Structure 1
Amino acid sequence: MFILPLEFGYKTTQRAWLTFFLVGLMLFIHWRVEINAEKVGEAVARYCASDDGEAFSKLLRRQSQLPDDEDAEYWRCDSVVGLIAGVGDKPGAYDYVLDDDSFAHLDERGQDRLRADLEQQVGKAELYVPRLLQEKLAQPAQSLNPVRMLTATLAHGDWWHVIFNMVFLIAFGCILEVVIGPIAYLGFMFASVLTVGLSYAIATQLNGDTLGLSLGFSGVDFTLLGALLFLMPLAPIKSIVFIGIIPIPMRLGVWVFGLVFLGGQLWFLFEQGPFDESTGVNTLAHAVGGVTGFVLAAWLLRPLKKQLSDLLDRAAVQEWSQR
Structure 2
Amino acid sequence: MLIIPAENAVNWKRPPWVTLGLMLTCLLVFLFYQGGDSQKLEQAVSQYLESELQSLEAPVYEDYLQRQIRFEGAQDRVYELQQFQELRDDNEQFWLAVNLLMDREFYQYLQENQSVIWSAGDRARWNEQRTPIEDRFIQRLSSFELGLVPSELSLYTLITYQFLHGGWGHIIGNLVFLFLLGFTVEKALGPARYLVAYLLCGALSGLVFTAFSSGSPVPLVGASGSISGLMGMYVAIYGLQKIRFFYFLGVYFNYFRAPALAMLPVWLGKEIYDYWFAGATGIAYMAHAGGLIAGAGLVWMLGRSWLQVREEFFEPEAEEQDARFTNGYAQAMASLGRMEFDLARRQFEALREHYPDRPILLEHLYRLAKLRPDLPEYRDRTRELMNDAMARRQPEQMIEVWQDYLGKGECHQPLSAEDHNRVLFTSLKQQDLKAAEKAFERLRSTGEEVLTAEACRLLVEEFEKRQMAPKARHYRQLLQA
Does structure 2 retain, via aligned residues, the 8 Å contact 1:200–1:284?
yes
Q: 1:217 corresponds to which residue?
A: 223
Partners of 2:316 and 2:154 in 1: CA distance:
41
Q: Which amino acid aligns with 1:20?
A: L
Q: Which amino acid aligns with 2:155?
A: P
Partners of 2:142 and 2:11 in 1: CA distance:
39
Is 1:232 the equivalent of 2:238? yes
Q: Which moved more, 1:144-153 or 1:226-235?
A: 226-235
Change (3 A) 1:62 1:299: closer
Could you tell me the percent identity over the aligned residues? 19
Q: 2:315 corresponds to which residue?
A: 311
Q: 2:9 corresponds to which residue?
A: 9
Q: 1:20 corresponds to which residue?
A: 20
Does structure 2 retain, via aligned residues, the 8 Å contact 1:225–1:290?
yes
Does structure 2 retain, via aligned residues, the 8 Å contact 1:156–1:215?
yes
Q: Which amino acid aligns with 1:283?
A: Y
Q: Which amino acid aligns with 1:213?
A: P
Partners of 2:182 and 2:160 in 1: CA distance:
19
- Residue among 160, 168, 172 paired with 1:163: 172
Residues 1-323 of structure 1 aligned to structure 2 (within 5 Å): 1-3=1-3, 8-9=8-9, 11=11, 13-32=13-32, 34-48=34-48, 50=50, 52-53=51-52, 56-60=53-57, 71=86, 78=94, 82=98, 93-96=106-109, 108=116, 110=118, 114-123=122-131, 125=133, 129=137, 131-205=140-214, 209-233=215-239, 234=241, 239=246, 241-245=247-251, 250=255, 255=260, 259=262, 262-268=264-270, 270-271=272-273, 273=275, 277-302=279-304, 307=311, 311-312=315-316, 318-319=322-323
Q: Which amino acid aligns with 1:211?
A: P
Q: CA deviation at 1:151?
A: 0.9
Partners of 2:286 and 2:154 in 1: CA distance:
18
Which structure has more relative contact order (CA 8 Å, sep 6+)? It is 1
The structure carrying a bigger helix percent of its residues is: 2
Deviations 1:4-57 (A, max 9, x none): 66782364642211110110110111123552222023313432553x34xx34
Change (3 A) 1:275 1:156: farther
Q: Which amino acid aligns with 2:315?
A: L
Structure 2 length as normaliser, TM-score? 0.51
Q: 2:372 corresponds to which residue?
A: none
Q: CA deviation at 1:173?
A: 0.9
Q: CA deviation at 1:312?
A: 4.3
Deviations 1:200-221 (A, max 9, x none): 222222xxx4222211111111
Does structure 2 retain, via aligned residues, the 8 Å contact 1:225–1:293?
yes
Q: CA deviation at 1:297?
A: 1.3
Deviations 1:85-109 (A, max 9, x none): 679x7xx54344689xxx9xx9936
Q: What secondary structure is seen at the aligned counterpart in 2 of 1:139?
A: coil
The structure carrying a bigger strand percent of its residues is: 1
Q: Which amino acid aligns with 1:17?
A: W
Deviations 1:88-143 (A, max 9, x none): x7xx54344689xxx9xx99363776544322221354587463122212100144
Q: What secondary structure is seen at the aligned counterpart in 2 of 1:15?
A: coil
Structure 1 length as normaliser, TM-score? 0.73
Deviations 1:223-245 (A, max 9, x none): 11212212225475685x44433
Partners of 1:98 and 1:111 in 2: CA distance:
14
Q: CA deviation at 1:268?
A: 3.9
Instruction: Name stretches of at least 5 consecutive residues in structure 1 with no aligned partner.
Output: none
Q: CA deviation at 1:192?
A: 1.1
Does structure 2 retain, via aligned residues, the 8 Å contact 1:157–1:216?
yes
Partners of 2:172 and 2:272 in 1: CA distance:
28
State the aligned residue count. Answer: 302
Q: Which amino acid aligns with 2:128?
A: Q
Change (3 A) 1:204 1:41: closer
Bigger radius of gyration: 2
Partners of 1:148 and 1:237 in 2: CA distance:
36
